[in-house]
Amino acid sequence: MTAPLLITLLQGAVLAVTVLLAAALVALALGRRTLHGKLNTIFFLLAVTTVFGLEVVVRIVWPHLSAEFFDPAGPYRQPLLVHLCFSVPATMILAAMMYTGRYHHGATHRALSGLFLILWIGTVVTGVFYLPNSVPPPMPSHEVATR
């Protein structure tokens, strides 16, 4: 497994679950509250499974990836830290959204929804558009020699 491939897979997963979230919001706008709950329960389970799987993969299965992502000299660290500023709080509020929706704390659920949407949009934009998913080609040796 390489860092660019893992990032590409995660970007696909984030876009796929975002389609579910969008469908759940359309369902809500059409007054289909139960459907909104069902679609978002699937969204929640897929998102949590992805986060959990990612943690297992980068910490236990391929720990070299974690080192590569946070290498201060590498291309990932800076955009990754920005992405984590959105994705970590988004994941925490996602759990609260699931709880408040499931147990009918409607007022809290609605109050948190704006913050959740802002954090989720930030997660998608910083994850899909700013995290590099290809390795820059190596610099030709004559250019390295002249620098």
| 90 φ, ψ (degrees, to nearest 5) | -60, -40
Distances (CA, A) of 72 to 75, 76, 137: 8, 8, 19
The DSSP symbol for 60 reads: I
Looking at beta carbons, which residue is closest to ligand HEM? 101
Give me the least distance between CB of 45 and ligand HEM, in Å please.
9
Give me the least distance between CB of 51 and ligand HEM, in Å please.
13
Spatial distance between the Cα atoms of 2 and 7, rounded to a whole number of angstroms: 9
In terms of CB distance, is 98 or 131 closer to ligand HEM? 98
Give the binding site for ligand HEM (CB under 6 A): 25, 28, 33-34, 36-37, 40-41, 43-44, 94, 97-98, 101-102, 104, 106, 109-110, 113, 116-117
The DSSP symbol for 1 reads: -
Give me the least distance between CB of 81 and ligand HEM, in Å please.
25
**The pair of three-digit structure tokens given for residue 46, joined into one six-digit string:** 């897929």
In terms of CB distance, is 42 or 57 closer to ligand HEM? 42
In terms of CB distance, is 6 or 94 closer to ligand HEM? 94
* Residue where the block lists tokens 């959105």: 86
* Residue where the block lists tokens 């893992």: 6
Give me the least distance between CB of 96 and ligand HEM, in Å please.
9
